[in-house]
Amino acid sequence: MAAERRHIRSFFAAFAGLALLATAAGAAEPEATIADFFGTYIGNGRVAEDGEYRDIIVAIAPAHKGFSIYTSTVIRKGPVRAVPGVKWRAETQRFVKSSVPHLYEPMLRESMFAQRRSPNLLRGDTVAWASIRGHTLGVYAMDVLEDGHYELRVYERTLTDLGMDLRFTRYRDGIAIRRLEGILARADD
């Protein structure tokens, strides 16, 4: 009985030690900076809901007071690219540091006559922002729709040994209605 108690004690001691080590390792790991994300990433992904394939290129680069993200996406129904109906989309988003620490906001192209105003969710504006948490660069876009429901689009790009894990989720009123996961490799310079 005493031996059994000793075993249990040593098991918990070992477990506590491992937990402490894990915590220490986690605490020692520095948070990524935006410069850590600069580069080009190539890979593919699939949409959870309909199994559609995506070929993805992401290029993140420094930009004036912030960064830009170029995303190229080939949308295809099956494993072969060269088929009728294949689609391609490309976009570049630019973010600049906001007045709030740790927060980036979309760079707005404004005419010299336009008066700048902060986006207002309740007046139908899309509110978008970006931030880094751990090794994940998150880009978020939120809308309150005409009927009062809300929609949140979350793009999370996490640095990995290979390059980057990509995760996109579209939420409507707290329910995930579209999810895409992808794995990308960092392209050599």
Partner 1 sequence: MRILYLLVMIALGVTAAGTDVLAQQSLPDGFAGKFRGTLSASGGGVAGEFTVAISKTDGGFTVAWPPRISASFEPANRPGVFVSRERTQILEGNPVYWARIDNGSLVVYAAQVDELGGYRIDSFLYARANTGLDLVIRRLVTGAEPQISSGRLMRYGG
- Compute the distance between CA of residue 135 and CA of residue 167 in angstroms, rounded to an integer: 13
Q: Which amino acid is at 106?
A: P
Say whether residue 70 binds partner 1 (CB under 8 A).
no
Q: Whole-number minimum distance, CB 27 to partner 1, in Å? A: 16
Say whether residue 171 binds partner 1 (CB under 8 A).
yes
Q: Whole-number minimum distance, CB 2 to partner 1, in Å? A: 39
Q: Is 138 left (phi over 0), alpha (psi -120 to 50) or beta?
A: beta
Site for partner 1 in 94-153 (CB under 8 A): 98-105, 118-122, 127, 129-133, 136, 138, 140, 142, 144, 146-150, 152
Locate tokens 């009062």: which residue?
148
Q: Closest CB to partner 1 among 41 and 95?
A: 95
Q: Whole-number minimum distance, CB 94 to partner 1, in Å? A: 16
Q: Closest CB to partner 1 among 87 and 102?
A: 102
- Compute the distance between CA of residue 57 and CA of residue 53 in angstroms, rounded to an integer: 13
Q: Quick one: which of 30, 56, 52 has its CA closest to 42?
A: 56
Q: Closest CB to partner 1 among 62 and 134?
A: 134
Long-range contacts of 68-73 (CB under 8 A, 24+ apart): 68/92, 68/93, 68/94, 68/95, 69/93, 69/95, 69/139
Q: Whole-number minimum distance, CB 42 to partner 1, in Å? A: 25
- Compute the distance between CA of residue 163 and CA of residue 159 in angstroms, rounded to an integer: 6
Q: Whole-number minimum distance, CB 170 to partner 1, in Å? A: 12
Q: Closest CB to partner 1 among 109 and 117?
A: 117
- Compute the distance between CA of residue 35 and CA of residue 160 in angstroms, rounded to an integer: 15
Q: Closest CB to partner 1 among 26 and 174?
A: 174
Positions that interact with partner 1 (CB under 8 A): 98-105, 118-122, 127, 129-133, 136, 138, 140, 142, 144, 146-150, 152, 171, 173-176
